[in-house]
Structure 1
Amino acid sequence: MSELGLHEGEARGCLSFPWETPPQPGQVREVAPGVLWLRMPLPFALDHINLYLLRHGHGWVVVDTGLNTPQSREVWEAVFTDVFGGAPVLAVIATHFHYDHSGLLGWLVDRFQCPAYMSFAEYQSLFVTPPRGDEPNWAFLQFYQRCGLGPEQVAAFRPMLSQMAYDTQAPTSFRRLRENDLLQIGTRRWRVVIGSGHSPEHVCLYSEDDKLLIAGDQILPRITSSVLVSVTEPEANPLGDWLASLRRFRQLSDAALVLPAHERPFHGLHHRIGQLQQHHDAHLDTLTEVLKAGPQTVAELCPALFPRLRGSFDLLMAMGETLAHINFLREEGVLTRTLAGEAWRFSLSSGGEQVLATEDIHV
């Protein structure tokens, strides 16, 4: 599972960054009264995640947790002593279920015997884990064969996924967050804004009075969040959900300081939303142009969107993102598909409403 897409959206023009450099790994910086930015290290090319610590009375509310690794726990131990001064964690909010955001959720909750807050779909997703072992199961194998890969290519994915998997320590209970819920944390009121597409019900927190947006992975300043289809739900349309989310976030103040999960806080919310929209629009235009040459598989279309891949992990992510754009175009009625051997081949539609026909069902 990756938190980020393969292409970078360049932050230009109207984006501004109040801090030229981030805190050092494991260190904090105050970004607003009672709001601390914690730079948690990650063992990836993307070497950090930003966590946010919110002062609340005699203790703290934590937003996201980092990976379930000894390094993350060491950072937290130092925070408990050096930053919190022994004050307790009163609640933990998880923006979404991905490893780096919720890996230590259960550990923190159990340690301080405090509640975990997250959306229902994100809590449920904590318990949907990739199959273990090096041998691909039938659903995994079929998913990528339908994309146009051979059995050997598919088998090469599984050991890599097993090596990259991180266990998430899930809490045994949670308190549900819904769109427009209000949370009073310290002297500040935060409104829950739900995004979708990168994950099912991604929680963001917006303070209208202070123009602060804790955005998680929903709005990032330079890189684009992954929006992809996986074996868990092969017919999903996460890009449709993502684009609808972007329209909702445009309703927030453009003056907001955006506190993202990766890279640096920034101003220029509406400009960045426009960049993200343009990024995906360009991908959609590219696919429809390439398909004028005739029917193609996901594997054949993938290089048109992602021409520079560094290995199996990049290929896996690129296939999922390519399929997300294909499924969006299918739902819009722009594309149709036919099964040729083990792989779907996609074509430009001759027009008319897309419906699920009996020939689309293969058992």
Structure 2
Amino acid sequence: MADLDANGAQLRDGLRYPWPQPPASGEVCEVAPGVLWLRMPLPFRLDHINLYLLQHEAGWVVVDTGMNTAQTFAVWEQVFSQVFDGRPVLAVICTHFHSDHAGVAGWLSERFQCPLYMTAGEFQWLHVQVPAAPAPPWAFTDFYQKAGFSAVQAGEFFAAVQNKHFRPLPCTGFRRLRQGSQLTIGGRCWQVLIGNGHSPEHACLYSAADGLLISGDQVLPRITSTVGVQATEPQANPLRDWLDSIERLRAVPDSVLVLPSHERPFFNLHQRLDQLVAHHQGHLARMLANCTEPRSALELMAVLFPTLSGRFDELMALGETLAHANYLMAEGTLVREERGGLLRYRRAPTGAKAPDPQQVF
């Protein structure tokens, strides 16, 4: 059982949670004047996403939107009538392109004829979709077979990502957010802080005057943000990008109230940053320790993620495994070799140099 401080906040694993319980699914809770926390349901084991509703003049600004599901539309209709009381959505802000964050951004923008704000990188990736086809393209199958999966299993992965829930509704235009952009909403100034690694140009919103950080998926309590390599960019090094982003976030005061996209709002940002770095350092050390002999990505995935359920979990776990492998290769501590169409990884010989970043193959 978690402890409580003198103010009734819950203390757990070095973090302080002002709200011991989240609002019920589809309900809202005020976390600061003019800032509402909406718990939007998701059809997965991670069964929710936190959206934030910012009051502005005679309407509202929405931060993230939920996934493209019938349940999402139903909750929004409830919010429009019971929370917004007929007042319009004046703008939609998406922290990043993932389907639970931007799934119905286009619908909201069109319905209220209001602008959509995103970074350029996220807007572009919003339109990069796995093609709808009866069979996966060769690059998709090649990616998973080189990791150790069969062609049949690759086809099952392809079917999993074809689910319409993962396809955000189309957005025809946007207004660009950049590092340091400032948005004045309801008399409160929010500064845009860009993070990388979980997604290309993830936008966090920071109010210095009020000590608030809408962190999206860049910083989460209890669970860790997915940092993965996908078939669309198999040589990417997202873990390097993500760790660099974590260091930049240390410039934000530890005293802020962090408003994440999953779990509950919390205090002690820097403690959580330390925990997240330690988590990935542990994965890196475990991977190296298991690469004294050549190992496939599938074998290494079993080391880092011994308990998985279903193809979607395997998709996420493989992406994370390859992110750690690519990071270690870039550091020069792991090398990769291909034999018979299978990639294997082993510890680099002592004194080996990191690979040339300009190498094509």
TM-score, length of structure 1 as denominator length: 0.93
Match of 1:319 in 2: 318
Match of 1:24 in 2: 24
1:126-159 Cα distance to aligned partner (Å, 9 max, x none): 1100122342210011101111222222222222
Q: How far 1:198 moved relative to its partner?
A: 0.7
Match of 1:155 in 2: 155
Change (3 A) 1:21 1:12: closer
Match of 2:127 in 1: 127
Match of 1:179 in 2: 179
Partner Cα separation in structure 2 for residue 359 and residue 227 of structure 1: 24
Give the letter aligned to residue 136 of structure 2: P
Match of 1:305 in 2: 304
Tell me if the contact between 2:68 and 2:104 (Cα under 8 Å) persists in the aligned partners.
Answer: yes
Match of 2:35 in 1: 35
Partner Cα separation in structure 2 for residue 152 and residue 58 of structure 1: 54
Change (3 A) 1:164 1:319: farther
Change (3 A) 1:275 1:183: same
Change (3 A) 1:164 1:341: farther
Say whether residues 1:260 and 2:260 are aligned partners: yes
Identity of aligned residues (%): 54
Match of 1:91 in 2: 91
1:252-278 Cα distance to aligned partner (Å, 9 max, x none): 011100001111111111111111000
1:87-140 Cα distance to aligned partner (Å, 9 max, x none): 111110000001110011011111111110010000000110012234221001
Q: Structure with the greater relative contact order (CA < 8 A, sep ≥ 6): 1 or 2? A: 1
Give secondary structure in 2 for the equivalent of 1:158.
helix
Partner Cα separation in structure 1 for residue 110 and residue 170 of structure 2: 10
Match of 2:219 in 1: 219
Give secondary structure in 1 for the equivalent of 2:22.
coil
1:7-32 Cα distance to aligned partner (Å, 9 max, x none): xxxx9442011111111111111100
Change (3 A) 1:77 1:358: closer
Tell me if the contact between 1:19 and 1:264 (Cα under 8 Å) persists in the aligned partners.
Answer: yes
Show the 5 A alignment for 1:221-236: 221-236=221-236
Change (3 A) 1:329 1:27: same
Match of 1:112 in 2: 112
Partner Cα separation in structure 1 for residue 90 and residue 156 of structure 2: 44
Tell me if the contact between 1:97 and 1:125 (Cα under 8 Å) persists in the aligned partners.
Answer: yes
Give secondary structure in 2 for the equivalent of 1:278.
helix
TM-score, length of structure 2 as denominator length: 0.93
Unaligned runs of 5+ residues in structure 1 are 1-10
Match of 2:246 in 1: 246
Tell me if the contact between 1:335 and 1:347 (Cα under 8 Å) persists in the aligned partners.
Answer: yes
**Cα RMSD over matched residues?**
1.6
Partner Cα separation in structure 1 for residue 357 and residue 250 of structure 2: 37
Tell me if the contact between 1:92 and 1:108 (Cα under 8 Å) persists in the aligned partners.
Answer: yes
Unaligned runs of 5+ residues in structure 2 are 1-10
Give the letter aligned to residue 141 of structure 1: T
Deviates more, 1:278-287 or 1:22-31: 22-31
Tell me if the contact between 1:134 and 1:158 (Cα under 8 Å) persists in the aligned partners.
Answer: no
Give secondary structure in 2 for the equivalent of 1:291.
coil
Change (3 A) 1:24 1:89: same
Partner Cα separation in structure 2 for residue 168 and residue 310 of structure 1: 25
Show the 5 A alignment for 1:43-58: 43-58=43-58
Give secondary structure in 2 for the equivalent of 1:321.
helix
Give secondary structure in 1 for the equivalent of 2:214.
strand
Partner Cα separation in structure 2 for residue 359 and residue 252 of structure 1: 37
Give secondary structure in 2 for the equivalent of 1:328.
helix
Match of 1:138 in 2: 138
Q: How far 1:215 moved relative to its partner?
A: 0.7
Partner Cα separation in structure 1 for residue 165 and residue 151 of structure 2: 22
Partner Cα separation in structure 2 for residue 164 and residue 302 of structure 1: 27
Match of 2:3 in 1: none
Partner Cα separation in structure 2 for residue 103 and residue 345 of structure 1: 36
Q: How far 1:165 moved relative to its partner?
A: 4.3
Change (3 A) 1:217 1:358: closer
Partner Cα separation in structure 1 for residue 53 and residue 221 of structure 2: 20
Partner Cα separation in structure 2 for residue 28 and residue 193 of structure 1: 25
Partner Cα separation in structure 1 for residue 254 and residue 30 of structure 2: 21
Match of 1:336 in 2: 335
Q: How far 1:224 moved relative to its partner?
A: 0.7
Partner Cα separation in structure 1 for residue 137 and residue 200 of structure 2: 24
How many pairs align? 350
1:325-361 Cα distance to aligned partner (Å, 9 max, x none): 0000011111111111101111211234323499972
Tell me if the contact between 1:196 and 1:241 (Cα under 8 Å) persists in the aligned partners.
Answer: yes
Partner Cα separation in structure 2 for residue 356 and residue 341 of structure 1: 24
Q: How far 1:73 moved relative to its partner?
A: 1.3
Give secondary structure in 1 for the equivalent of 2:38.
strand
